[in-house]
Amino acid sequence: MNKESRIYVAGHRGLVGSAIVRALSNQGYGNLICRTSQELDLRDRQQVDRLFSEEHIDIVFLAAAKVGGIVANHEYPADFIRDNLLIQTNIIDAAYQSGVEKLLFLGSTCIYPKLAPQPLKEEYLMTGELEATNEAYAVAKIAGITMCQSYNRQYGTNYISVMPTNLYGPGDNFDLEKSHVLPALLRKVHEAQEQQLPQVEIWGTGTPRREFLHADDLADACLFLMEHYEGNEIVNIGTGEDISIRDLASLIQSVVGYQGEFKFNTDKPDGTPRKWVDVSKLKSLGWSARIPLIEGLKSTYEDYKSELQTISK
């Protein structure tokens, strides 16, 4: 990858894709190719082939996917497996057919078994049963990883796969039914504060533990790996520190300045008990996360409030 490379960021309006575009622009990569889902439906192979034949793409960041929180994954498994298999298969194969130099595929730490030993090492892939709430999504991600590895072996391509932990940041999805926990709790606590509500509902027991990485750190890691890593082995991306959902809620409470209480709705699923990421491979390559959770929460909350102001104008 060099500063003249023609770089396609699939999913450039999403949480991850927009952070990758910011990072590429900040580092002087000027030839960026982007399409919204309205302009190009990545589930349609003909449309994908047309993009690759017209744009002479050198590099691909595959950050387009159907993404959602625990309940969305659980309720719409068919949509998650179909859309993700189509999007990633179309892009990976079109990239091969058109001679793309290098591609980065975004997986997720949900590919690891539900009860894998902690912290999650890359070698735990396919060593046990997946978490039921996101099995369909995880199977699609595992297919994407295997597809990249198989193309590398058979066709000599240079495709890498990264497994980020739970992400957050500006431009996240704040829809209460479909989003992940961090944006959902920021919104719920903010609205409870505004409306002076005494309680905020938290799904599940509050005991599951998750690791949260800011999207700008993730994007920085993706660029670093595209510049410095080649290989068939998957690479975890995280901070190496996790937190319980209950403690995350308390942290958000302090950021928003909310005085009310939390009520735990145990009719909602907990999901995987823990997803603590082993980041030793990434560290040994020379990269570590920089944005502390509390700082990332504060800036994401400020961003959320400015978005609300823009919408209300």
Ligand X SMILES: NC(=O)C1=CN([C@@H]2O[C@H](COP(=O)(O)OP(=O)(O)OC[C@H]3O[C@@H](n4cnc5c(N)ncnc54)[C@H](OP(=O)(O)O)[C@@H]3O)[C@@H](O)[C@H]2O)C=CC1
Ligand Y SMILES: C[C@H]1O[C@H](OP(=O)(O)OP(=O)(O)OC[C@H]2O[C@@H](n3cnc4c(=O)[nH]c(N)nc43)[C@H](O)[C@@H]2O)[C@@H](O)[C@@H](O)C1=O
**210 sits near ligand X (criterion: CB under 6 A):** no
Residues 171-190 that bind ligand Y (CB under 6 A): 179-181, 184-185
**65 sits near ligand X (criterion: CB under 6 A):** yes
Nearest CA to 142 among 157, 155, 156, 131? 131
Look up 137 and say whether it is catalytic.
Answer: yes
**269 sits near ligand Y (criterion: CB under 6 A):** yes
Residue whose tokens read 């793409």: 57
Q: Sign of torsion, CA 9 175 258 200?
A: negative
Cβ atoms within 10 Å, residue 226:
23
- The interface partner of residue 11, options being ligand X, ligand Y, none and the CB cut-off 5 to 8 Å by kind, is ligand X
- What's the closest the beta carbon of residue 195 comes to ligand X, in angstroms? 27
Cα 8–chain centre separation: 17
Q: Sign of torsion, CA 162 211 249 258?
A: negative
**Alpha-carbon distance 277 to 289, whole Å?**
12
**207 sits near ligand X (criterion: CB under 6 A):** no
67 known ligand binder: no
Q: What share of the chain is helix, strand, coil (3-state, %, to 5)?
A: 45, 15, 40
Of 33 and 163, CB closest to ligand Y: 163
**Alpha-carbon distance 76 to 68, whole Å?**
10
**Contact between 161 and 107 (Cβ < 8 Å):** yes
Stretch that binds ligand Y, among 3-11, 23-31, 203-211, 277-285 (CB under 6 A): 203-211
Q: Report which residue's Cβ sits closest to ligand X.
A: 14
Which residue of 1, 6, 32, 37 would you call a contact of ligand X, by CB under 6 A?
A: 37
Report how many residues bind ligand Y under the rule CB under 6 A: 24
Residue whose tokens read 């960021």: 9
Residues 228-247 that bind ligand Y (CB under 6 A): 245
Calculate the dihedral angle through the C-alpha atoms of 293, 294, 296, 299, rounding to the nearest 10 degrees: 170
Of 22 and 268, CB closest to ligand Y: 268
**Contact between 103 and 59 (Cβ < 8 Å):** yes
- What's the closest the beta carbon of residue 14 comes to ligand X, in angstroms? 2
Of 49 and 197, CB closest to ligand X: 49
Q: Which of 8, 96, 112, 137 is catalytic?
A: 137
- The interface partner of residue 271, options being ligand Y, ligand X, none and the CB cut-off 5 to 8 Å by kind, is ligand Y
Of 58 and 172, CB closest to ligand Y: 172
- What's the closest the beta carbon of residue 162 comes to ligand Y, in angstroms? 13
Residues 115-144 that bind ligand Y (CB under 6 A): 134, 137
178 known ligand binder: no
Largest CA distance in the chain: 60
**Contact between 197 and 263 (Cβ < 8 Å):** no
Cα 65–chain centre separation: 9
SS3 at position 64 = coil
Assigned token pair, 38: 């309205």
Of 175 and 194, CB closest to ligand X: 175
| Environment class of 227 (CB within 10 Å of its CB; exposed 0-12, middle 13-18, buried 19+) | exposed
Q: Which residues bind ligand X (CB under 6 A)?
A: 11, 13-17, 36-37, 40-43, 63-67, 87, 106, 108, 164, 166-167, 173, 180
Binding-site residue positions: 11-17, 106-109, 141, 164-167, 180, 188, 203, 210, 270
Which residues are the active-site residues? Answer: 137
Q: Which residues bind ligand Y (CB under 6 A)?
A: 68-70, 73, 108, 110, 134, 137, 166, 179-181, 184-185, 202-204, 208, 210, 245, 268-271
